[in-house]
Amino acid sequence: MKRDLLTILDVSVEEIEALLQRATLLKERLKKGELDASLAGKTLGLLFDKPSTRTRVSFEVAMYQLGGHVLFMSSKETQLSRDESLRDTALVLSRYIDGLVVRTYADESLRELASHAEIPVINGLTDLYHPCQVLGDILTVREKKGDLDSLKVAWVGDGNNVAHSWINAAVRLPFQLSLACPSGYEPRKDILQRAQESAGDRIHLSADPADAVSNADVINTDVWTSMGQEEERQKRLAAFRDFQINNELVRKAKSDVIVMHCLPAHRGEEITDGVMDGPNSVVFDQAENRMHLQRALLDWLLGSQG
């Protein structure tokens, strides 16, 4: 039975632990120049509706390092742009390739593709979730801080797709998640409520960045205007003005706090140069770990165990 990764809730605690351990091992081996070709002869498709640097390149390189091949498809250049259905597209692609990473707008489109595909489908970002990002981020937090148990993770900014995946991560792993979002830009109520039913008061939402970062071990942020929201940019710049990660805010957290951003960043908006390039920032380690985590993920979903 094929497995998909559409949200973090698709994987159990034990599976997350196995992925993290495998990613750590593969990373260590890669640093020693050891590669294994567990996906030789397999092809991963990438079907993208939105731009990407990290997700595309980290998946492509991960697949090459596992001995496999990659086929990148901008959906504009496929027959999807001429109204071929998602169902037919999924059924056809399943005859050619061994796994599919999808980056699109509506989460429903991803679900529709996955429900018809006979191969594993991986969410490479939708308007609702970015699970590969947050699984990679958890690897980074573990490397820097050890176990996540009882760490305080702050999210300051938009209650967006990456925030939703952090909320789902808090359902699976026992850390404190304190979100500060401007009024009107909170995470979706249904996602938050469902998570709070499992995680209880470990997930806390306010509109106060200082409160969210107080005593935090990790500070996380993301752009104020996500892909597809460009027309709202001016309104958002005003709404998020007090939600910038700057040195003054970072000083309110623990002195060894790590600052994370999934990137791309709009320097000078949600995060200052001083913080991005400062001693607490781990943003480039974070970007690197996307690749290591995804190698473990591909190995699992497309490999012989998958």
Query: Between 131-145 and 13-31, two packed helices, what is the crossing angle to 10 degrees?
Result: 70
Task: Give whole-number Cα distances, 280 to 147, 178, 254, in Å.
Answer: 18, 19, 10
Q: 160 is in the binding site of which of ligand NVA, ligand CP, none (Cβ under 5 to 8 A by kind)?
A: ligand NVA
State yes or no: residue 228 binds ligand CP (CB under 6 A): no
Q: At its nearest, how many Å lie between ligand CP and the CB of residue 219? A: 17
Question: Is residue 130 flagged as an active site residue?
Answer: yes
3-state secondary structure of 118: coil
Question: Is residue 262 flagged as an active site residue?
Answer: yes
Task: Give whole-number Cα distances, 190 to 158, 181, 197, 300, in Å.
Answer: 16, 16, 11, 30
| Beta carbons of 38 and 50 less than 8 angstroms apart | no
Q: At its nearest, how many Å lie between ligand NVA and the CB of residue 125? A: 6
State yes or no: residue 63 binds ligand NVA (CB under 6 A): no
In whole angstroms, give the CA distance from residue 144 to residue 76: 40
Applying CB under 6 A, among 16, 196, 263, 303 the residue interacting with ligand CP is 263
In whole angstroms, give the CA distance from residue 1 to residue 24: 26
Question: Is residue 21 flagged as an active site residue?
Answer: no
**Positions in 2-31 near ligand NVA (CB under 6 A):** none
Q: At its nearest, how many Å lie between ligand CP and the CB of residue 208? A: 26
Tokens read off for 253: 């957290």
In whole angstroms, give the CA distance from residue 161 to residue 262: 11
In whole angstroms, give the CA distance from residue 145 to residue 162: 21
Among the residue ranges 49-57, 163-171, 182-190, 269-277, the one whose residues contact ligand CP (CB under 6 A) = 49-57
**Positions in 117-156 near ligand CP (CB under 6 A):** 125, 133
State yes or no: residue 163 binds ligand CP (CB under 6 A): no
Q: Which residues contact 237 (CB under 8 A, 6 or more apart)?
A: 224, 225, 269
Question: Kind and range of the H or E element at 174?
Answer: none
Applying CB under 6 A, among 27, 42, 54, 152 the residue interacting with ligand CP is 54
Question: Kind and range of the H or E element at 56?
Answer: helix 54-65
Residue with the shortest CB distance to ligand CP: 55
Applying CB under 6 A, among 188, 227, 274, 288 the residue interacting with ligand NVA is 227
φ/ψ of residue 224, rounded to 5:
-85, -25
Among the residue ranges 89-97, 165-173, 192-200, 221-229, the one whose residues contact ligand NVA (CB under 6 A) = 221-229
Separation of CA 18 from chain center: 18
User: One of 4, 65, 127, 133 is an active-site residue; which one?
Assistant: 133
In whole angstroms, give the CA distance from residue 165 to residue 134: 6
Applying CB under 6 A, among 8, 162, 283, 298 the residue interacting with ligand NVA is 162
User: One of 111, 130, 202, 261 is an active-site residue; which one?
Assistant: 130
Applying CB under 6 A, among 7, 123, 161, 281 the residue interacting with ligand NVA is 161
Q: At its nearest, how many Å lie between ligand CP and the CB of residue 95? A: 27
Q: At its nearest, how many Å lie between ligand NVA and the CB of residue 233? A: 12
Provide, for the chain, the percentages of residues in helix, strand and coil under a 3-state DSSP scheme, each rounded to the nearest 5. 50, 15, 35
State yes or no: residue 226 binds ligand NVA (CB under 6 A): yes
Q: At its nearest, how many Å lie between ligand NVA and the CB of residue 183? A: 19
Which residues are catalytic, by number? 103, 130, 133, 222, 262, 290
Binding site for ligand NVA (CB under 6 A): 125, 160-162, 222-223, 226-227, 262
